[in-house]
Structure 1
């Protein structure tokens, strides 16, 4: 009797683990501070409590997250809402759906030197700006200029490699650069500059560009076949996000446990920048992290359709679902 009981108890963890639902999850890029919540949720067993075995892989870009999910290789991931909109216009039957919007503000900006010729946005008339060809910051710049009443024909834009944006600006080869803020901010830190004192940032969101950006998206198949797993995934991630807002170092510790060669101080700064500038905003304080203002999202869909000359205009329901969000009281920053 005792022997049978011991065997049964020894087998229980294996059986319990076998019952977990596997979720293949892709990040948008290599592991960074802005991914801390996924590893904290994993480390503290929040995914497992939801009956999930979440396997996290690094990514190849925010738009690539959408492609990876559409291929069927991944069930969910962290990627760009605007790439979801583009694919929902072209392949609505297979485009993923955003279920937890993290970047409430767009992570794009015009970056200039504090002592450079561009002291205010009107100064870009006649200026030379560096921009990576095809990047979201480049494609969205006309929307920013239009909202600010600036004719893009008055600005010269030259194509530059993404990894040279800050260097060319510092060498005065360009008057400003159109950047992805989370990356550029830390590039400047790594180069020994003070991103706050030495530079001016003109965030697109402050100049009329209403688009959302990165968040947690899932495949349509996962929504249709495993809705309880989607809800559990969102609950676990939200739980970790809330804990990291209260204690960012807990998230960085979990991150370093996964990727010990990262620069801990740099990733701590990156996480703080994202929380302060992209995630926590007046809107997310009102609606809770993960939610969107549906009227704003509808306007941003129209912006993306116009800029990318898409043949169809997706609806809000085509690209976003609030169905799986925890209650508002659990999502307040």
Structure 2
């Protein structure tokens, strides 16, 4: 009799355990289902411009905000087009791209500056002796075919009485900087935080001519995070949650670049780990820089750059800069 009672109690205990496990699994499943599915499209292959996004995903910051964020590559369509059409909720973009898009009536909006100041430069191998815009004369420039490139070159060269018509402009597409130099190109436009740091690691001396040394109007936001006007109108709380999580991600990258680099390396194993770590150290103080908080954008920066584009006949009309960006979703 006691044995039967013991067996009955044991069966009841096992059944209760089974029910608890089933309930826990059901609860977990419900929690997963409750997460809002979001798509984030990158502008390019993953690099340290994107670290805060991967940190937010892999440290669970998105999940804490109730979001399930999928990070995808842009493909042939491009990030701006995917975001503007609603095929992606958020994207990585650039001030110049958003400016051009809005002039054409495309409803895309910048919601945070990833890096506070423009860190791009025209770079060349040191033995080319290109150290200033006047040295561009008689040289070949490798670009991607945008009219903005020639205008920037012209603007900088005019300050030194040099002529942009003396530059051979070659469309090299997405050819790597170092490969382009081996193919006879003399200089190209780079982001120092990636290609410049790579040059240091390769012990390959390069010269850099920074855009911001020649015009404050060229100190624009690149890259930025974007969304579309429909999202802002219909899902402002989703945007606020997204930006809150991303802000935490970039704050960790600022405060602990080594940990942030490890997260990116684990998320994207194909990346050069040494380059990621060195680039992360270089970029960490530049994400926020002199801004009161990460992601902050200034109206004057948007106006300065759009006015420069308009003055150089690169815009068909003047930009309504106040509608091109917003700080309203940044954490206080």
Per the normalisation by structure 1, the TM-score is 0.83
- SS of equivalent to 2:175: helix
Match for 1:299 among 299, 304, 329?
Answer: 304
Task: Work out the CA distance in 2 between the residues paired with 1:60 and 1:79.
Answer: 14
| Cα pair 1:223 1:230 within 8 Å, conserved | yes
Which residue pairs with 1:117 in the alignment?
129
The reply on whether 1:193 has 2:203 as its aligned counterpart is yes
User: Please, what is the CA RMSD of the aligned residues?
Assistant: 2.8
Structure 1 counterpart SS, 2:279: helix
1:70 paired with 2:77, answer no
Kindly indicate whether residue 163 of structure 2 is the aligned counterpart of residue 163 of structure 1.
no
Q: What residue is the counterpart of 2:292 in the other structure?
A: 287
Cα distance in structure 1, aligned partners of 2:166 and 2:189: 12
5 Å-filtered alignment, 1:32-47, equals 32-47=47-62
Contact 1:131–1:138 under 8 Å retained in 2: no
Q: CA deviation at 1:252?
A: 1.8
1:19 pairs with 2:28? no
8 A contact 1:109–1:137 mirrored in 2: no
Contact 1:127/1:175, CA 8 A, preserved across alignment: no
Secondary structure in structure 2 of the residue aligned to 1:77 = strand
Would the aligned equivalents of 1:102 and 1:289 in 2 still touch at CA under 8 Å? yes
Distance in 2 between residues matched to 1:275 and 1:201, nearest whole Å: 20
Write the mapping of 1:55-204 to structure 2, written as runs, cut at 5 A: 55-60=70-75, 64-91=78-105, 94-124=106-136, 126-135=137-146, 137-146=149-158, 148-153=159-164, 155-161=166-172, 162-163=174-175, 165-167=177-179, 169=181, 173-185=184-196, 188=199, 192-194=202-204, 198-204=205-211
Distance 1:116 1:280, change over 3 A: farther
With 305-314 and 259-268 compared, the bigger mean Cα shift is at: 305-314
Measured in 1, the distance between the counterparts of 2:129 and 2:165 equals: 15
In the alignment, the residues of structure 2 paired with residue 52 and residue 270 of structure 1 have an alpha-carbon distance, to the nearest angstrom, of: 29
2:259 to 250, 263, 282: 250
Q: Given the alignment, which residue of 306, 314, 317 partners 2:319?
A: 314
Give the match for residue 275 of structure 2: 266
Counterpart check, 1:236 vs 2:241 = no
How far does residue 154 in structure 1 lie from its aligned partner after superposition? 6.0
Aligned length: 313
Deviation string, structure 1 residues 266-306 (Cα, Å, up to 9, x no partner): 11223334345x5343xxx2432211221122111122334
Q: Which runs of 5+ in 1 are unaligned?
A: 328-333
Cα displacement (A) at 1:150 = 3.9
CA deviation after TM superposition for structure 1 residue 311, in Å: 2.1
Q: Deviations over 1:94-128 (max 9, x none)?
A: 4211111112222431213334333344444x331
Cα separation, partners in 2 of 1:241 and 1:137, compared to 1, 3 Å: farther
Deviations 1:34-70 (A, max 9, x none): 3221111111111011111111112359x92111112
| Structure 2: gaps of 5 or more residues | 1-14
Partner of 2:64: 49
